[in-house]
């Protein structure tokens, strides 16, 4: 079968495993959908396939109101790939184009703006501006349907340069005016509150594909939580993780809840059709709503929500050593980091010392919430305050840009720069590469790993570590 035929079979079977991996559009209706859309399957001759929602929108198709293709998980390729396209997609997801333009994106990647445009368009069918526009449209829909913010405020919060641009984009993508889109949220059960208040925050559903072993992720976050910055509360199976966020325009507090029945049973993995995917319930309290897109993407990286558990479990489950671990914990994730620089410094000094640093140098929130009182100290602050300690060289390298850990960083370059610093051993650098840089293929330190584990060695390491902790 050709790739096109395989994709059409996925559409015919409404296979949620491919949601976010590609989109299909129907020429007779002018609508594009996710593969699992429950609508009647269109005839093959009327179907076109696209790598991104932005490419479908650029070809004149509007989003399906039934399956909401803009709400799917992102492609796992963007986290796995280390090339310029993968790095660009991670930076666009972090909101760099909205804040710094295509020129800023190109500078971060070390290419010209023309090269970035050409490579993204050739592979994805859309350039950086179109990809950022599609992301802004999704952010606008979320704000319209989950908050009571005035439409004008939503336009700028979503990253649009003008209200006219906002209105035109919403009409083009959703075939609705902003007011009609907001009303649709009420009629489908997503009630809009009368006003967006500081106490209410922005409720979100963070989608994931396939099974998700919640217990292991929340266990890890609970063990590593740094007081003042993070907390995990609630009974097992219904826990909530909360943390403070330093964001481009302000600060935030995020709360993400564990889903009941998320994977402590150790039962064998079921067939893929039994795991169409789901979501994590989240709530964001932001001092500036323009930070919504960035905050969401950082939570997605922290909880590894764009992973492809089918590919991971299939590859690792074929290994005799890992097979029983994969069977016991289908959908085990490899958590990333909400703040890569913060995680790198914490990985070096440990939890107890990190808590001391927060008390001594962390910025106190203007509006603390319960035990969440501080932001983790910035590298520049710690480079000056702790310059004679073991943290000094790393903090200074992060502060002056000698080590880059942002979403578009070159992982090999970052690892080389980290290993050149005093006080960082191979194990710590591997941990930083796996968590702060989100590399899915970091082997367990000191373990001779077979090539058959690639490109998912980070997940293999989590399986081995989780099994040892039980």
Active site amino acids: 33, 37, 64, 67
Query: How much of the chain is in helix, strand and coil states, percent to nearest 5?
Result: 50, 15, 40
Tokens representing residue 284 in the block: 């964001």
Of the candidates 54, 290, 63, 59, which has an alpha carbon nearest to the alpha carbon of residue 161?
290
Query: Which residues are bridge partners to 284 per DSSP?
Result: 202, 254
Judged by DSSP in three states, 19 sits in: strand
Inter-residue contact 276 to 36 (CB < 8 Å): yes
Q: Where are the beta strands (DSSP E) in 267-371?
A: 278-286, 363-369
| Distances from the Cα of 173 to the Cα of 124, 163, 170, 422, 451, angstroms | 18, 15, 5, 51, 43
Cα(426)–Cα(445) distance, rounded to whole angstroms?
8
Q: Left if phi > 0, otherwise alpha if psi is -120 to 50, otherwise beta: which for 270?
A: beta
Long-range contacts at 457-461 (CB < 8 A, ≥ 24 apart)? 458/334, 458/434, 459/312, 459/316, 459/332, 459/333, 459/334, 460/316, 460/319, 460/322, 461/334, 461/434
């Amino acid at each position: 079968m050709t790739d096109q035929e395989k994709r059409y079979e996925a559409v015919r079977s409404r296979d949620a495993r491919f949601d976010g991996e590609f989109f299909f559009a129907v020429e007779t209706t002018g609508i594009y959908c996710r593969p699992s859309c429950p609508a009647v399957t269109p005839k093959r001759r009327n179907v076109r396939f696209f790598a991104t929602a932005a490419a479908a929108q650029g070809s004149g198709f509007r989003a399906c109101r039934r399956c909401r293709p803009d709400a799917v998980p992102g492609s796992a390729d963007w986290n796995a790939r280390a090339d310029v396209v993968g790095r660009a997609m991670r930076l666009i997801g972090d909101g760099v184009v909205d804040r710094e333009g295509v020129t800023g994106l190109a500078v971060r990647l070390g290419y010209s703006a023309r090269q970035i445009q050409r490579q993204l368009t050739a592979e994805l069918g859309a350039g950086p501006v179109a990809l950022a526009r599609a992301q802004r449209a999704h952010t606008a829909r979320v704000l319209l349907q989950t908050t009571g913010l005035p439409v004008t405020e939503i336009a700028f919060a979503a990253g649009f340069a003008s209200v006219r641009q906002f209105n035109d984009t919403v009409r083009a993508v959703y075939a609705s005016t902003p007011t009609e889109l907001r009303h649709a949220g009420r009629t489908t059960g997503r009630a809009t509150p009368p006003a967006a208040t500081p106490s209410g925050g922005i409720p979100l559903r963070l989608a994931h594909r396939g099974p998700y072993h919640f217990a292991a992720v929340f266990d890890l976050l609970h063990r590593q939580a740094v007081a003042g910055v993070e907390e995990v509360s609630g009974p097992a199976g219904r826990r909530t993780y909360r943390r403070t966020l330093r964001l481009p325009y302000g600060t935030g507090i995020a709360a993400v809840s564990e889903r009941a029945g998320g994977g402590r049973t150790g039962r064998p993995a079921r067939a893929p059709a039994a795991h169409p995917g789901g979501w994590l319930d989240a709530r964001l309290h932001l001092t500036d709503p323009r930070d919504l897109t960035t905050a969401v993407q950082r939570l997605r990286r922290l909880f590894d929500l764009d992973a492809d558990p089918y590919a991971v479990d299939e590859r690792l489950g074929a290994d005799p050593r890992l097979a029983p671990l994969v069977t016991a914990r289908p959908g085990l994730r490899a958590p990333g980091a909400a703040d890569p620089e913060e995680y790198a410094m914490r990985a070096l000094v440990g939890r107890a010392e990190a808590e001391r640093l927060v008390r001594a140098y962390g910025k106190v929130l203007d509006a603390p919430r319960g035990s969440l009182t501080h932001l983790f100290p910035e590298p520049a602050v710690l480079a000056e305050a702790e310059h004679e300690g073991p943290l000094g060289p790393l903090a200074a390298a992060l502060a002056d840009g000698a080590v880059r850990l942002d979403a578009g960083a070159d992982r090999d370059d970052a690892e080389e720069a980290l290993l050149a610093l005093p006080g960082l051993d191979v194990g710590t650098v591997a941990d930083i590469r796996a968590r702060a840089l989100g590399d899915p293929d970091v082997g367990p330190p000191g373990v001779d790993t077979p090539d058959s584990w690639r490109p998912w060695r980070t997940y293999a390491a989590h399986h081995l570590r989780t099994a040892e902790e039980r």
